[in-house]
Structure 1
Amino acid sequence: MTTGEVGILKSTLLPSFGLYSGLSVAAYVAAERTDRVEIKDWLWPSGQVLNAWWTAIGRPMYETGTSFNDAWRGLTWTEKLLLGGVTVWGSRLFARIVSRSLARGRDDPRYDAQKNEKGFWKSAFFKVFLPEAGFLSIISLPVTVPFSMGDTTLSLSTNTLNTIRALGVGLFSSGFALEVMADTQLELHRKERDDLCRHGVWSLVRHPNYLGDTLVHLSFLLLNFTYSFHPVVFLGPLANYVFLRFVGGDMQTEASQEKRYQAENSPKYEQLQNWRGENNSFWPAWKDLTNPWAFAVAGCGFIGVVVEEVVRSNCTLR
């Protein structure tokens, strides 16, 4: 196994793209038959979890005939953190997307304009579903490369590695907590009121759920530094950021909101315009760092670091 581009392509990118493109075919068929583009969103978190588990556990079991327990015990602590992190994040997000989809009973309004385009479903697989499979293949690099590439380009002291691990765990805990709080607060708000949710973590930025997702994927990058690191993993959080900012995240969401609110809900449209002048879309402004909710998110990160340290110490003692 080489660590160059050819090695990465054969060991990680091509298998990942093969998995995601196959799942995308199934998602496309289901989406076309139900006229619901949002089914592709079900694949986004679940596909990453499946890919990580296949690369870390499934492939060794298939290729060497080892048992599940032996494959799990063969993972380092950092690899278990990576696998556990992507599993917790992806499983929660998948449950959130599916439950919201079933409760709504129709397609996500963000995709209505796309479906109105002539011949949309004839080209949707190549214009929408397959490109997302490509993005996923790159985004997944931090949770697949460590399980398929056995070497590292770094030589760091134990104290440095422990510090980086703590930063990664703290960043994951903060990002995950931010996503959970954003979704929970938005759900509660919608049950009580019909205006925009601008309180809680939504007072930090206009899209705290996307910010939380970005922090989670950055944490996977940091955890790579502590064991099996290859520079190609930098592409993972970068691709995730590009997608969330400019392809299928806050830009797409606000474009849909602006169009719908302007046509159907003038007060909400005016709220959106005012909100844009008060809060950033994705990254908090300096003034927002003193917001009590920013301290709450940071506190969750600190708790995550403490819990991980306690669990790791107990496992080491055993």
Structure 2
Amino acid sequence: MTGFSLGTFLAVSGASLVAVFVLMAVTAVIGRRQGRVAVVDTAWGLGFVLVALVSALVGTGAGARRVVLLAMVAIWGLRLARHMHQRNAGKGEDPRYTQMLQNEPGDPFLVAIRKVYLVQGGAVWFVSLPIQVAAATDVGLGVVAVLGILLWAVGVTFETVGDAQLKAFKADSANKGTVMDRGLWSWTRHPNYFGDSAVWWGIFLVAASAWPGVLTILSPVVMTYFLVFATGARLLEKHMAERPGYAEYQQRTSYFLPRPPKR
């Protein structure tokens, strides 16, 4: 296939799989020592950065695309990992994981490995397939790639601003027990998750701008599924359902895609 090296892709993909496996194994050990699975939230962003780095170093495709994707993933992933580490530092287990793992038979650590670490490790590898394919594609950047970079920028902005707004809201003791419904949070109940999704659709477009990157479309689809229905928005909504005022917030604010709030 012109411009694409299957051998390079297999080398990049294999090396990425090993790297993610090692990262999740180390994370599982740290999680067991700390007595909480939530440490995987920090490893989530780092896993993608690791794959992008492996792809940039092992890949033999167009240098510009490899460097651009590494920069995009590193900016997103390192910011996310830092944010999650700061958010979870000194705290107990995340209620989402408690709900996910409760009433499961067997050793809790082994259950966590099966239901969290392996699942998230596999998701990191699969979602990052556009990066791996791009590393084996010797075609320059084009208009579609530029559109992808712009969409990525929108996603990073939503994530960064949304997280900052929520942090400032929580820091004000006057807001204790109330629902954050200001700024970006008045346009979507999950600006950070929407931002994540936009980031990965943007990364996909950068990879899809050269064949056969378009074939990795299931990767951003899976990422969006995780963010909306699996470990992201759906679990958080269940956790917030009993908070006073949240039902009203749900009625006037979009679930995922940003739009002006209803009066």
> Which TM-score band applies after superposition, normalised by the shorter structure?
0.7 to 0.9
The alignment partner of 2:152 has SS state of helix
Match of 1:179 among 151, 155, 159: 159
Q: Residues 48-127 of structure 1 correspond to what in structure 2 (within 5 A)?
A: 48-57=48-57, 59=58, 76-102=63-89, 104-117=90-103, 118-119=105-106, 120-127=108-115
Assess if the C-alpha contact under 8 Å between 1:172 and 1:215 holds in 2. yes
Q: Residues 147-296 of structure 1 correspond to what in structure 2 (within 5 A)?
A: 147=135, 149-150=136-137, 162-192=142-172, 193-194=175-176, 195-227=178-210, 229-258=212-241, 262=242, 269-285=243-259, 287=260
Task: Give RMSD over aligned pairs.
Answer: 2.8
| Distance in 2, Cα, partners of 1:189 & 1:42 | 22
Residue 12 of structure 1: how far off its partner (Å) = 4.5
Question: How many residues were matched structurally?
Answer: 256
Assess if the C-alpha contact under 8 Å between 1:141 and 1:232 holds in 2. no
Deviations 1:221-255 (A, max 9, x none): 11123346433321221111111112111001111
Tell me which amino acid in the other structure corresponds to 1:170.
L
| Distance in 1, Cα, partners of 2:85 & 2:230 | 21
The 1:25/1:97 distance shift into structure 2, 3 A limit, reads: same
The answer to whether the aligner puts 1:18 opposite 2:5 as a matched pair is no
Q: Which moved further from structure 2: 117-126 or 87-96?
A: 117-126
Instruction: Give unpaired runs (5+ residues) of structure 2.
Output: none
| Distance in 1, Cα, partners of 2:251 & 2:111 | 38
* Seq. identity, %: 27
Assess if the C-alpha contact under 8 Å between 1:110 and 1:252 holds in 2. yes
| Distance in 2, Cα, partners of 1:19 & 1:251 | 29
Tell me which amino acid in the other structure corresponds to 1:139.
V
Assess if the C-alpha contact under 8 Å between 1:48 and 1:86 holds in 2. yes
Deviations 1:136-169 (A, max 9, x none): 111111222111x2357xxxxx9xx643233122
Larger radius of gyration: 1
| Distance in 2, Cα, partners of 1:138 & 1:186 | 30
| Distance in 2, Cα, partners of 1:204 & 1:230 | 32
Residue 82 of structure 1: how far off its partner (Å) = 1.1
| Distance in 1, Cα, partners of 2:54 & 2:13 | 14
The two structures have a TM-score, normalised by structure 2, of 0.86
The 1:204/1:179 distance shift into structure 2, 3 A limit, reads: same
Tell me which amino acid in the other structure corresponds to 1:44.
W
Tell me which amino acid in the other structure corresponds to 1:145.
V
Tell me which amino acid in the other structure corresponds to 1:126.
R
The alignment partner of 1:38 has SS state of helix
| Distance in 1, Cα, partners of 2:239 & 2:127 | 25
Assess if the C-alpha contact under 8 Å between 2:51 and 2:125 holds in 1. no
Residue 65 (structure 1) aligns with? none
The alignment partner of 2:50 has SS state of helix
